[in-house]
């Protein structure tokens, strides 16, 4: 029996005995479908390594200032820049502060990247980054605001709710509430590509998260450090040492007790399973700590910020990938605080500077490690925000803009459709079919299309894509080529 046949059988057994009764009925049906139809990925060619890094911007980033029109027309007007300034009002950024970019696939139009993000703009112009425009949660395509007003199309649950939309971005299941993420479902399918299963394929620098939670396992959480102790790393069992410690009787006694406890054998299934989890946790710590203990090459200095420390830990795990026995990995990092209902321009300037400094250091480190083409970083957020201002802030909306960065990206392009930014008046003729009010734009690209590109690149077989993204068939007929085409 091949390792992949064994993997399939093991998955079926584990999915059948996992505590699925605790999740909603629709999610249970999804898990049963996953268990009954699971297909395995082919082994990577010559041990090829790939990793996805999810950079989540919790709170709902105002992304039409992250990427805004610079010159040329729009789908709803002859002068996209004038349209932007009129709709945004006191939220409009000054043209001369923007980093102008020249996408290869928007003839006659140029765009501006937020002034706080020179590293992102430089990576874009060099062909190592791209944008995905006006992407959001969808169950099926929605063409205009009449379909929203009349509820003639199925709409995501809790459309403008932080908690619902964060969950849906991380699960890609907008029609029900579930605790299983699309990163977790990828892990369920392809984790046995990794030669060493002790450390999870999914590693989080921000604790537990929905994105990486699967049917058969979850993330391995790493401490990113803090202002005073920026090093962070794998979290050890407090008071335990694997060997004798001179002049420390308490540690030695505690360690002996732990070793004896872990050596116990239990006939009760629950006790035995729990015991194995404890042993696995100790083994995972030892493996992770050893694999990531060296110094990163290149002398790259990561900023001592929340995001800088998290991406520094990702880089250490990437350096230690061979010691971890990993050929496929996902990483989760998070920067919260984007719910800017006031003072958006000043707050974004500070926070996007943090993002840009961190991804700039991360890119430099990928190059120093020689794996820039094997790692893809992508962003997510709860939702976009209104184009119109509310006391120099913006409110919860729907579609928004995101960026991807990596050496395998077909960069210097904007994927999807960058929309017209005209806002419909309170009364009178409609000027923008996808504006549902105040510049809440209906997404023209679904999260499923965005995520499908990433899942296929990581190694999910096209035939199994609908197991990871249940609604993908509403937007794309799975094939080896992704729906947007942002991988070269």
Same domain for 432 and 376, yes or no, is yes
In a domain, 479, yes or no: no
In a domain, 483, yes or no: no
Place of tokens 């490690």: 369
Same domain for 299 and 272, yes or no, is no
In a domain, 487, yes or no: no
Same domain for 277 and 403, yes or no, is no
Same domain for 450 and 309, yes or no, is yes
Domain end call among 270, 291, 312:
291
d(CA 354, CA 363): 14
Q: Is 124 exposed, middle or buried (0-12, 13-18, 19+ CB in 10 A)?
A: buried
Residues making up the chain, counted from first to last: 488
- Residue-range definition of the domain harbouring residue 266: 236-291
Write b or e for each residue in 4-32: b if 16 or more Cβ atoms lie within 10 A of its Cβ, otherwise e. Answer: beebbeebeeebeebebeebeeebeebbe
Per-residue pLDDT of the chain (488 residues; tens, 9 = 90+): 444 444 444 444 444 433 333 334 444 445 545 544 444 455 677 779 999 999 999 999 999 999 999 999 999 999 999 999 999 999 999 999 999 999 999 999 999 999 999 999 999 999 999 999 999 999 999 999 999 999 999 999 999 999 999 999 999 999 999 999 999 999 999 999 999 989 999 999 999 999 999 998 899 999 999 988 888 888 654 544 556 556 555 545 544 544 555 455 655 555 444 444 555 667 888 899 999 999 999 999 999 999 999 999 999 999 999 999 999 999 999 999 999 999 999 999 999 999 999 999 999 999 999 999 999 999 999 999 999 999 899 999 999 999 999 999 999 999 999 999 999 998 889 999 999 999 999 999 999 999 999 999 999 999 999 999 999 999 999 887 899 999 98
Please say whether the beta carbons of 168 and 19 come within 8 A.
Answer: no
Phi and psi at 442, nearest 5°, equal -65, 130
Same domain for 444 and 468, yes or no, is yes
State the pTM of this model.
0.87
Same domain for 212 and 243, yes or no, is no
Same domain for 175 and 285, yes or no, is no
Same domain for 177 and 243, yes or no, is no
User: Which H or E run includes 444?
Assistant: none
User: What's the structural domain count of the chain?
Assistant: 2
d(CA 166, CA 46): 37
Please give the structure tokens belonging to residue 388: 């119109």
Same domain for 312 and 283, yes or no, is no
Same domain for 70 and 83, yes or no, is yes
Place of tokens 């479908």: 33
């Amino acid at each position: 029996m091949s390792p992949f046949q064994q993997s399939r059988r093991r998955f079926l057994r584990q999915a059948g005995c996992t505590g699925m009764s605790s999740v909603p009925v629709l999610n249970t049906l999804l898990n049963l479908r996953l268990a009954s139809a699971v297909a395995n990925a082919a082994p990577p060619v010559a041990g090829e390594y790939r990793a996805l890094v999810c950079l989540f911007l919790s709170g709902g980033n105002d992304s039409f200032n992250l990427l805004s029109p610079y010159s040329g027309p729009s789908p709803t007007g002859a002068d996209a820049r004038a349209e932007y300034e009129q709709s945004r009002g006191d939220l409009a950024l000054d043209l001369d502060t923007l980093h102008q970019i020249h996408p290869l696939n928007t003839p006659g139009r140029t765009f501006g990247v937020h002034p706080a993000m020179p590293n992102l703009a430089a990576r874009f112009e060099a062909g190592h980054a791209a944008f995905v425009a006006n992407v959001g949660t969808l169950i099926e395509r929605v063409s205009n605001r009449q379909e929203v007003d009349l509820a003639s199309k199925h709409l995501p649950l809790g459309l403008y709710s932080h908690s619902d939309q964060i969950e849906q971005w991380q699960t890609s299941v907008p029609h029900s509430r579930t605790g299983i993420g699309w990163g977790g479902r990828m892990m369920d399918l392809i984790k046995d590509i990794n030669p060493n299963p002790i450390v999870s394929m999914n590693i989080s620098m921000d604790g537990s998260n929905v994105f990486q939670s699967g049917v058969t396992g979850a993330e391995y959480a790493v401490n990113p450090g803090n202002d005073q102790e920026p090093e962070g790393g794998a979290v050890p069992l407090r008071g335990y040492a694997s060997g004798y410690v001179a002049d420390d009787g308490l540690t030695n006694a505690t360690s002996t007790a732990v070793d004896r406890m872990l050596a116990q054998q239990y006939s009760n299934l629950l006790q035995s399973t729990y015991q194995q989890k404890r042993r696995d946790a100790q083994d995972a710590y030892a493996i992770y700590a050893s694999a990531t203990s060296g110094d990163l090459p290149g002398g790259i200095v990561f900023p001592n910020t929340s995001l800088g420390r998290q991406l520094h830990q990702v880089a250490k795990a990437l350096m230690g990938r061979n010691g971890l026995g990993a050929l496929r990995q996902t990483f989760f990092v998070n920067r919260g605080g984007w719910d800017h209902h006031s003072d958006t321009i000043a707050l974004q300037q500070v926070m996007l500077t943090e993002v840009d400094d961190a991804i700039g250091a991360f890119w430099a480190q990928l190059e120093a490690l020689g794996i820039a083409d094997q790692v893809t970083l992508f962003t997510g957020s709860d939702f976009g925000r209104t184009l119109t201002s509310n006391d120099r802030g913006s409110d919860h909306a729907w579609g928004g803009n995101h960026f991807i960065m990596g050496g395998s990206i077909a960069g210097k392009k904007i994927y999807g459709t960058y929309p017209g930014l005209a806002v419909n008046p309170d009364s009178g003729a409609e000027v923008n079919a996808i504006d549902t009010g105040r510049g809440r734009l209906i997404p023209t690209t679904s999260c499923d299309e965005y995520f499908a590109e990433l899942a296929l690149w990581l190694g999910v077989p096209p035939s199994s894509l609908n197991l990871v993204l249940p609604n993908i068939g509403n937007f794309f007929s799975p094939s080896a080529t992704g729906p947007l085409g942002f991988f070269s």
